Amino acid sequence: MNARVKARRGPPHELAAHLGALVLAGLLAGLLSGLLSWARIALNEVYLPGALENVAGIDPRGAAEPFAHRVLVPRLVRFVCEHVLVGSQPRAVFQVLDTLFALGAFVATRRLASALFERRWMVHVSSWGLFPLLAIHYVASREYPFWYAWDMAAVAVFAWGLVLLFERRWTAFYALFALGTFNRETTCFLTFALLFTGWRREPKPSLFAHCAAQLALWLAIKWWLRSLYRRQPGDVYQSVWLENWESLQDPLMWRWFLLAFGGLWLVLPFVRRRIEPAWLRDVVWVAPVFALGMFFAGVWTELRIWGELVPIVLLATLAGCFSPRAGGARSSG
């Protein structure tokens, strides 16, 4: 038995080389995550009320709605500053957390890519390619150079939500879904991901029960946050469809649309039918639903609002252009 274990593990020098590669990859990913976090804060010098120290839970004055509802990261920073690293500056804690969330998004994207793709180079390209695309959305875009505490956390939550949906780890998924809703309301699009990927694979009663449970959980959290912060200034929902409609008619604004996702979204419609496995092809339908929602609730040229879709667009475009694992992935749902 010991001989079989040793055979599976390979010679000691191969194991050492593998561990060394993992350590180097981890250090590089951490470095890139830190640089992304530093650039996001250092280069985005415009801070809106509710963006940094003014976020609900840091400044006693709180923040305007809907910023006041995005409490997860600000409350965590407040806890660290008051109970763990007493006297530390919120900005520094925000930056460390931002780095960890970027690293978490990388790990989740790599894990999902490893499950979807057989070719190792596709796993490497799709995971490391996350960093330049996030830099485009959160650093390079100068139309709205704003920094928000919840942005990178939202990317990590959405990426891990996709992983847990794919692996069908429901307990962990619902815990993440609840926590993520306290960070940003875009967790509702994970329910659409479940609906689209499960439509042809799940028994309809089970599928609808999960969707109903997630909707109820999402509404309950939003109602509770609304009751807590109902006295804050601003509105929970601000329609911006007219601004987006005008941007679509302005040729100058199209430079931001073309920049989104590094231009990969322009390729995706032409290769969608070639995407394998089918689970990834189906999850792409989240993108147009997300875009429709943001047409009314988010400024399209503010590229940071698209961050949650970056792993989907990256993985799907790569899968459509090249050949992933024949016969699909290990999980069907």
- Alpha-carbon gap, residue 43 to 38, rounded angstroms: 8
- The stretch 28-55 carries a mean pLDDT of 72
- Alpha-carbon gap, residue 311 to 165, rounded angstroms: 14
**Averaged pLDDT score across all residues of the chain:** 85
pLDDT band at residue 21 under the 50/70/90 scheme: confident
Model confidence, pTM = 0.88
CB-based contact 95:301 (threshold 8 Å): no
Task: Quick: pLDDT tens for 284-315.
Answer: 999 999 999 999 988 899 899 999 999 999 99
Residue 280 backbone phi and psi in degrees, to 5:
-70, -40
pLDDT at residue 3, rounded to an integer: 47
Task: Quick: pLDDT tens for 177-186.
Answer: 999 999 999 9
pLDDT band at residue 164 under the 50/70/90 scheme: very high
pLDDT at residue 325, rounded to an integer: 43
Does residue 55 carry a pLDDT above 50?
A: no
- Alpha-carbon gap, residue 60 to 325, rounded angstroms: 53
pLDDT at residue 239, rounded to an integer: 77
Residue 311, CB half-sphere, CA atoms under 13 Å: how many?
Answer: 29
In eight-state DSSP terms, residue 55 is: S
Smallest CA-to-CA distance from 164 within 112, 215, 207 is with 112
Task: Quick: pLDDT tens for 229-251.
Answer: 777 655 656 778 899 999 999 99
CB contact set of 283 (below 8 Å; sequence gap of 6+): 162, 193, 196, 197, 312, 316
